[in-house]
Amino acid sequence: MLKSRSGKRRAPPRRRTRVGAARKASPSAVLPKAPPSATPVVSVVIPVVNERKTIARIIRQAFALHRDTEVIVVANGSTDGTAQTAESLGAKVLHYPEPLGHDVGRSIGAREAKGRIILFTDGDIVIPAKDLMPLVKAVENGVDIALNSYLGPTDKMNVHGVVLAKHALNIALSRPELKGASMTTIPHAISRKALEAIGWEQLAIPPKAQAIGICRGLDVRAVHYIEVGKTNPRRRRKQGDDPLEGLIVGDHLEAIDWFIRATNERGNKPDLTRAREVVR
């Protein structure tokens, strides 16, 4: 205690804190490590290549989906500490020193997943748990493949080739009501039944996986709209031609090729009264 001139004791002055000033929280307070679930209900698969800026937020949203959730991060070609951040938050990290290429990480993650529901998302787009939850709930209620109903921009004179390919494939598969909903688009969720019917290795070509699932009688639905076009950083950075357009259109051609081989040369579409024998 301090003494005043009158001899009376007085309390030391309180330290003033600026309004709005916040204490720095410790890293563990900001990024709590979630205990891994031994018997997960939901497995969230996140392929990543140098996503240090977003991975912590994405993992937190993933763990918020269910109390028994496992998060599987497929770190391929990452050199910026993404894998270390993911491990510190309780994710199971699969390390690959070189990039695996488009969508291969999904297959690898699905192979390791133990949950009854497997949800796929990317490491560069933070999607709130409230938007992921309808996909999980749909699978929990019996849907085998729960798709994001985002269709891409369709109100243009020149529609992007990927958007056209998605619509064309669903029409070919006699599922026109799906429009452009696709396993190419994240996020989406599948059941354990779907994983076993399709095969984890087929998930590297998402449109082909979708074709297989539909042909094998799985319940495939577009269940919830999540805007991922405007929030996609790769699309925002894109200048000129989209380098992924040819790859993804090729994926859809591969899916159609599989479908024709699995059915017939017309994909089970009718030939009506065309007398082909006359011109042979």
Q: How confident is the model at residue 16 (pLDDT cuts 50, 70, 90)?
A: very low
Residue 64 has pLDDT above 80, yes or no: yes
Tally of CB atoms within 10 A around 247: 13
Residue 28 has pLDDT above 80, yes or no: no
In a domain, 4, yes or no: no
Q: How confident is the model over 214-271, as pLDDT tens digits?
A: 999 999 999 999 999 876 555 444 555 678 899 999 999 999 999 999 999 999 999 9
Residue 25 has pLDDT above 50, yes or no: no
Q: What is the DSSP string of 239-274?
A: -SS-TTHHHHHHHHHHHHHHHHHHS-TTTT---TT-
Task: Kindly state the average pLDDT of the residues 121-132.
Answer: 96
In a domain, 5, yes or no: no
What is the residue whose two structure tokens read 């969720």?
189
Q: Mean pLDDT for the chain?
A: 87
Residues whose CB falls within 8 Å of the CB of residue 171, separated by 6 or more in sequence, listed in order: none
Query: How does 160-169 read in b/e, with b if 16+ C-beta sit within 10 Å?
Result: bebbebbbeb
Q: What is the pLDDT of residue 258?
A: 98
Name which of 96-100, 151-155, 166-170 the model is least confident about. Answer: 151-155
pLDDT above 70: percentage of residues in the chain: 82
DSSP 183: T
Q: Is 94 helix (H, G, I), strand (E, B) or coil?
A: strand
Whichever domain contains 131, its CATH number is: 3.90.550.10
Task: Kindly state the average pLDDT of the residues 6-31.
Answer: 42
End-to-end Cα distance, the chain = 109
Q: What is the pLDDT of residue 240?
A: 57
Rounded-to-integer distance, Cα 180 and Cα 168, Å = 8
Task: Kindly state the average pLDDT of the residues 126-147.
Answer: 98
Check: CB of residue 169 under 8 Å from CB of residue 117. no
Q: What is the pLDDT of residue 10?
A: 52
Q: How confident is the model over 172-218, as pLDDT tens digits?
A: 999 999 999 999 999 999 999 999 999 999 999 999 999 999 999 99
Q: How confident is the model at residue 38 (pLDDT cuts 50, 70, 90)?
A: confident
Q: What is the pLDDT of residue 278?
A: 93
Check: CB of residue 95 under 8 Å from CB of residue 112. no
In a domain, 85, yes or no: yes
Residues of the domain holding 197: 32-263
In a domain, 270, yes or no: no
Q: What is the pLDDT of residue 41?
A: 97
Distance of CA 274 to the CA centre of its chain: 44
Residue 42 has pLDDT above 70, yes or no: yes
**How many structural domains is the chain composed of?**
1
Q: Which helix (H) or strand (E) holds 72?
A: strand 69-76
Q: What is the pLDDT of residue 166?
A: 97
Length of the chain: 280
Rounded-to-integer distance, Cα 86 and Cα 91, Å = 5
Task: Kindly state the average pLDDT of the residues 67-78.
Answer: 96
Q: What is the pLDDT of residue 34?
A: 59
Residue 11 has pLDDT above 80, yes or no: no
Nearest Cα neighbor of 120 from 191, 44, 223 is: 44
